[in-house]
């Protein structure tokens, strides 16, 4: 079976940044599982998995525009510290969830001032070329319910 639209795919990965540092790996836990064709993973990785088979192992380099996008300086913001619980405990480098009109947003704290926090709402990997080592471990057909709902049910997915 090959990876095409409406397949449920499990794979192990190691993500290495431009500096050659290991950012994340699934090798010590269960493989990542996703619904192929539902835009649930970065576009460049989904493209690289298209047509692959169970047992395939490969490496792929994904440019920023096919991963988490380029860095956007408009996503650097100053927020009043009154919007946070215990602002004195917040440290630079910390990742926080901020409530916005569009819903929750993950930000990285850049600087903590007396009355404000400077934060970065870019994805931490924005602007970076990503290198993946991939091993496809399982492929199956999505069920009619999974196709209708647009997500995985059961193991590795969301139950509704």
Q: What is the pLDDT of residues 12-58, one digit of tens each?
A: 999 999 899 999 999 999 999 999 999 889 999 999 999 999 999 99
The vertex-117 CA angle with 116 and 121, nearest 5°, equals 140
* pLDDT, position 99: 83
Does the pLDDT at position 159 exceed 70?
no
Question: Between 83 and 132, whose confidence is greater?
Answer: 132
Share the mean pLDDT of the chain: 92
Question: Between 156 and 59, whose confidence is greater?
Answer: 59
* pLDDT, position 48: 98
Domains of the chain: 7-68+125-149 (3.10.50.40), 73-120 (2.40.10.330)
Q: Answer yes or no: are the C-beta atoms of 23 and 124 closer than 8 Å.
A: no
Q: What share of the chain is helix, strand, coil (3-state, %, to 5)?
A: 15, 40, 45
Q: Which of 68, 3, 13, 14 is nearest to 36 (CA)?
A: 3
Does the pLDDT at position 158 exceed 90?
no
pLDDT tens readout for residues 61-72: 999 999 999 999
Q: Answer yes or no: are the C-beta atoms of 79 and 121 closer than 8 Å.
A: no
* pLDDT, position 101: 85
The dihedral formed by the CA atoms of 101, 110, 73 and 98, expressed in degrees to the nearest 10: -10
């Amino acid at each position: 079976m090959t990876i095409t639209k409406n397949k449920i795919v499990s794979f192990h990965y190691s993500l290495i940044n431009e500096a050659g540092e290991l950012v994340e790996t699934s090798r010590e836990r269960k493989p990542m599982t996703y619904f192929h064709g539902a835009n649930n993973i970065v576009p460049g990785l989904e493209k690289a998995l298209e047509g692959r088979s169970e047992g395939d192992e490969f490496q792929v380099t994904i440019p920023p525009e096919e991963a988490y996008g380029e860095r956007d300086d408009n996503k650097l913001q100053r927020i009043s510290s009154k919007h946070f619980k215990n602002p004195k405990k917040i440290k630079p480098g910390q990742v926080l969830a901020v409530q916005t009109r569009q819903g929750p947003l993950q930000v990285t704290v850049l600087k903590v001032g007396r009355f404000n926090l400077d934060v970065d709402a870019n994805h931490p990997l924005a602007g970076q070329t990503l290198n993946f080592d991939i091993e496809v471990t399982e492929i199956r057909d999505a069920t009619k319910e999974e196709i209708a709902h647009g997500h995985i049910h059961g193991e590795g997915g969301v139950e509704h």
